Amino acid sequence: MIRPGARTAALAAALALAACRTTAGAVLRVDPPPSEPGAVADAQQYRIARAIRDVVATDRMECREGSGPVLLSCFPADVGTRSAQVTIQLERSGSGYQVSLVESFLALGGPKALCAVQDRLIRGIDAELGVPSAKPDARGRCAGQPPR
């Protein structure tokens, strides 16, 4: 039987290794509409984070609140068994937000899997905010590909 601490340490080591050998990346720019008058100051941030959590839950990813510039980090809960081994981070960026997707060298699905996750995030964020707000960054790996 594997001790819970050993499993966590192994997961952290695998993620660190994956982060050192990334093969693909994508970036979404999210410019949400203005908050409703009287709304909580970070209401849009919470809605974007909720959309990300909802989307990645289908891929059995875990999310944790971030610290510093990173507001939310999501990563595979079972490294090596999913076709999309993607780490996702939500950060503030100017007047909006940035969602970074980095696929590890362990990924089996290649750019198609990364772009599929990005497309699901765009649809999920836009649905949560009620208006189109998420756009692929032109420098990202999936910028020129049609949505799936």
Q: Tell me which CATH code domain 26-129 carries.
A: 3.30.310.80
Out of 18-22, 85-89, 132-136, pick the least confident: 18-22
State the average pLDDT over residues 104-118: 71
Q: Pairing state of beta strands 70-76 and 134-136?
A: unpaired
**Residue 33 CB coordination number (10 Å):** 11
The CA distance from 144 to 65, in Å, is 31
The domain locations on the chain are: 26-129
- Mean pLDDT, the chain, integer: 78
Record the tokens describing residue 92, joined without a space.
């503030």
pLDDT (tens digit, 9 = 90+) per residue, 19-49?
444 445 889 999 998 877 777 768 899 999 9
DSSP three-state, residue 7: helix
In sequence order, the 6+-apart residues with CB closer than 8 A to the CB of 66 are: 72, 73, 89, 90, 91
Residue 133 phi, psi (nearest 5) = -135, -20
105 has a pLDDT exceeding 70? no
